[in-house]
Structure 1
Amino acid sequence: MLNFYLFPISYAFLTFPIAALLFTLPFLIVQYRKHGYIHKYRAFILYLFLLYMMNAFYLIILPLPPSIHNAPPNVSSYMQWIPFHFIQDIMRETQVNPGVPATYLHLFKERAFLQVLFNVLITVPFGVFLRYYFRVGWVKCLVLTFCLTLFFEITQVTGIYGIYDYPYRLFDVDDLMTNTVGGMVGFIAAEWASRLPLIPRIDKLDEHVDLSKKRVTYTRRGIALLLDWLIILPVLTVLVVLGFQYSYVTVMILYFLVIPYITNGRTFGKWVVRIRLKGKKERLMLRELVIRYGLLYLFVGGLNVLLISVNTAYFHGLMLVLFAFILFVLDLVFAIHVVRCIFNRDRQLFYEKKSGTGHVIS
């Protein structure tokens, strides 16, 4: 029976890196937006919660039938509605003699008892996370644990929502009860454990943090840039399709000069991750923005756009090849410069140094 549980757990650990990679971007956005920075312990707890949820889900759905056209289970009903039916199963299968205490250990070798124990244990971590990290009360913990186990049962009895022709596991009201009990056991255990001095309190993690002294990382800036370009690219595409002249220059000026000047250094992406541009004074000057984004998007970016959109009727042959080669060298130098700045905190990007601007947490 142990192998029956180890198989799904091994798959959860194998696929966890993929899930963690997909989880990282929304995790970073939420943490930057909510807390203003990334706390390593908070990140550890949330990734641990993700790993637990994957293990719990895989334990419920695995192993899968060999084909989606599976045979119907040999039962009279797909649902077991009798509460505490597991007691009858244990009494029917047990080798325990109530008058002989030495036989009590047989319980831990019997399928019916171990299944009930598993159903309790599988949601204990869920209750722990709800109480310790998410700081919910016992009523919410009860409701959320019940909803989680109801989701598990419905997933099973519907053959993973119609993927399989027939259910390969059955709906059991006893599972609802024992899973919910497990969540409440976890809630009580977390309430006790949270009083231990060795375990950090989640609500105290940000108590002595000064956001004004924290460095804005390139990861955070990269996310802001990604969010900004998710807005810019569709707009640029529409303008190009419509044949709007100077669409690139127009969008760059509006988005990276006009908007940050009005919002004092914020674009949509920067607003989401709670950062803004700051110049030599508290109020960002237009001159600083012109130098910063003129060098970045109108010089470096503009030359690349020019190469793409150049009219070969006027600019061709050796001149075009020479221009492409010079631009390649320029892009290579710029890329090396960016990499050096990323790995050396004391170095500044050239357009930041020339404009006297930088990022601060807002």
Structure 2
Amino acid sequence: MNRLLMPAVVAVAGGVLLASALFVPYVAVQFRRRGTVGPAPALLALAVLVHALAVVAYTLLPLPASGAGLCVDGGRDPQLQPGRFLADAVRLGLRTPADVVANAAVQQFAFNVALVVPLGAFVRHLTRRGVAGAALTGLAVSGLVELTQLTGVWSLYPCAYRVFDVDDLLANTAGALLGALLAPLLRLLPGQGAQDPEAPRPVTAWRRLLGMASDVVLLTGGGLAAAFTWRALAVGAGLRVPPAADRAVLLLLATLLPAAVLLVHLLSTGRTPGEAVVRLRPRGPLRPARAVLRWLVGAGGFHLLNTSGPGTASSLAAALAVAAAVAVWTTRGHRGLAHALAGWDVEDDRLPLPTAGDEPGRGPSGGR
């Protein structure tokens, strides 16, 4: 893969994976700080993750396979002469505009400027620091990167495998300054205005789907974490577990345990963790039998089918997911399939709780 393309692929793929891992905490924080999740803040958060990984990938990758032979010539000597890139650019030729565009020294300096432009914009826009603060942040980040290169990733390698270049510090700082000057453009993205986090919001289909997705992420992630912990402990202890026993333990930890935890949470609180994340609660006769039905037709049943192994079960899980998604758009108040079968509606948990005159388990906002 092209040396310029590979770090970009790493940054995008790593950003998506990291965003998936942080999905539920991010949604929960947004609903409690802003009252909702807007597309523009979410896009900015993803851009911050991808850019941070891009800086790491472009400045440190590819890592040498080993330190063997790396220090034969004493490693890479630091470049401490400010403006040296100008002399290199003149030496390579700057007679025509085409020469300037094709000049390797100019390209390197311009790339180092461009790499940190988003950092300056993000720092000024998201932290409300001034232009000088954003530029100093760029200088600090660039200094950390250059020291990481100079020390061979903090002594991971016996000597530096990339050049500490003072011109990179200048270029990165200039990039952060330019980004800070361009930061007001980020205000044009819609949906970033201040909102009252405690003001009730309508129950929309997207909000319901966001809660359902949070449940799936929590169940799947919890099951994978439990299974990984089991495998790590087994390997660390040198256990030789028969394949049948290993499959049984994995079924218990990755499938049954998360579903059981979800059921306990549903019986004790009346709602799933995903609904709590997006600040929703059920409204209706919250009886245990209906909670079990809600669990079985909802996230609990989906998780059991999706992770139990056989292809038929996976097909049923996919069919259940499609039915649940369609029902969110077509049922009254976007309550969805599981809530409809349980006889529950859904409301914002910031609405006032029922008074003594209301029917138990029902909110003051209407009937079932």
| Range class of TM-score, shorter chain | 0.5 to 0.7
Residue 187 of structure 1 deviates from its aligned partner by: 0.5
Q: Is the 8 A contact 2:294 2:341 kept in 1?
A: no
Q: Is the 8 A contact 1:86 1:116 kept in 2?
A: no
Q: What corresponds to 2:250 in structure 1?
A: none
Equivalent position SS for 1:168: coil
Q: What corresponds to 1:308 in structure 2?
A: none
1:211 is aligned to 2:201: yes
Residue 72 of structure 1 deviates from its aligned partner by: 1.4
- Structure 1 runs not aligned, ≥5 long: 238-246, 281-286, 304-328
* Cα separation, 1, equivalents of 2:10 and 2:26: 26
What is the CA deviation profile of residues 13-34 of structure 1, one whole-angstrom value per residue up to 9, with x for unaligned ones?
A: 3662354133124145313431
Q: What corresponds to 1:142 in structure 2?
A: 135
Q: Is the 8 A contact 1:212 1:361 kept in 2?
A: no
1:167 is aligned to 2:160: yes
Q: 1:332-347 maps to which residues of 2 (within 5 A)?
A: 336-344=319-327, 345-347=329-331
Residue 279 of structure 1 deviates from its aligned partner by: 1.0
RMSD of aligned residue pairs (Cα, Å): 4.7
* Cα separation, 2, equivalents of 1:66 and 1:248: 40
Aligned pair in 2 of structure 1 residues 182, 253: CA closer, same or farther (>3 Å)? closer
* Cα separation, 2, equivalents of 1:201 and 1:332: 39
What is the CA deviation profile of residues 288-331 of structure 1, one whole-angstrom value per residue up to 9, with x for unaligned ones?
A: 1424313345899999xxxxxxxxxxxxxxxxxxxxxxxxx999
Residue 91 of structure 1 deviates from its aligned partner by: 3.5
Aligned pair in 2 of structure 1 residues 335, 62: CA closer, same or farther (>3 Å)? closer
Residue 336 of structure 1 deviates from its aligned partner by: 4.0
- Structure (1 or 2) with the larger CA radius of gyration: 1
Q: Is the 8 A contact 1:156 1:167 kept in 2?
A: yes
TM-score (norm 1): 0.63
Aligned pair in 2 of structure 1 residues 292, 73: CA closer, same or farther (>3 Å)? farther
* Cα separation, 2, equivalents of 1:177 and 1:110: 19
Aligned pair in 2 of structure 1 residues 182, 76: CA closer, same or farther (>3 Å)? same
* Cα separation, 1, equivalents of 2:186 and 2:109: 27
* Cα separation, 1, equivalents of 2:314 and 2:104: 65
Aligned pair in 2 of structure 1 residues 141, 31: CA closer, same or farther (>3 Å)? farther
Equivalent position SS for 1:358: strand
Equivalent position SS for 2:83: helix
Q: Is the 8 A contact 2:86 2:105 kept in 1?
A: yes
Equivalent position SS for 1:288: coil
User: Which amino acid in 1 is paired with 2:189?
Assistant: P
User: Which amino acid in 1 is paired with 2:280?
Assistant: R
Q: 1:83-102 maps to which residues of 2 (within 5 A)?
A: 85-88=81-84, 90-91=86-87, 94=90
Residue 248 of structure 1 deviates from its aligned partner by: 11
**Partner residue of 2:189 out of 176, 191, 200:** 200
Q: 1:253-272 maps to which residues of 2 (within 5 A)?
A: 255-258=265-268, 260=269, 265=270, 270-271=275-276
1:22 is aligned to 2:56: no
User: Which amino acid in 1 is paired with 2:26?
Assistant: V
Aligned pair in 2 of structure 1 residues 267, 66: CA closer, same or farther (>3 Å)? closer
Q: Is the 8 A contact 2:202 2:348 kept in 1?
A: yes
* Cα separation, 2, equivalents of 1:21 and 1:249: 24
Q: Is the 8 A contact 1:256 1:293 kept in 2?
A: yes
Residue 169 of structure 1 deviates from its aligned partner by: 0.9
Equivalent position SS for 1:278: strand
Q: What corresponds to 1:46 in structure 2?
A: 45
* Cα separation, 2, equivalents of 1:77 and 1:17: 30
TM-score (norm 2): 0.62
User: Which amino acid in 2 is paired with 1:94?
Assistant: V
Equivalent position SS for 1:212: coil
Aligned pair in 2 of structure 1 residues 90, 139: CA closer, same or farther (>3 Å)? closer
What is the CA deviation profile of residues 71-97 of structure 1, one whole-angstrom value per residue up to 9, with x for unaligned ones?
A: 2174698444x4xx2324533762599
Q: 1:216-227 maps to which residues of 2 (within 5 A)?
A: 216-224=207-215, 227=218
Aligned pair in 2 of structure 1 residues 154, 266: CA closer, same or farther (>3 Å)? farther
Residue 352 of structure 1 deviates from its aligned partner by: 4.0
* Cα separation, 1, equivalents of 2:103 and 2:299: 69
Q: What corresponds to 2:280 in structure 1?
A: 276
Q: 1:49-88 maps to which residues of 2 (within 5 A)?
A: 49-72=48-71, 74=73, 78-80=77-79, 82=80, 85-88=81-84
Q: Is the 8 A contact 1:120 1:182 kept in 2?
A: yes
Q: What corresponds to 1:311 in structure 2?
A: none
1:155 is aligned to 2:148: yes
Residue 164 of structure 1 deviates from its aligned partner by: 3.0
* Cα separation, 1, equivalents of 2:155 and 2:266: 49
Residue 184 of structure 1 deviates from its aligned partner by: 0.9
- Structure 2 runs not aligned, ≥5 long: 231-256, 302-311, 351-368
User: Which amino acid in 2 is paired with 1:160?
Assistant: V
Residue 123 of structure 1 deviates from its aligned partner by: 0.9
* Cα separation, 2, equivalents of 1:217 and 1:25: 20
Identity of aligned residues (%): 20
Give the aligned length: 300
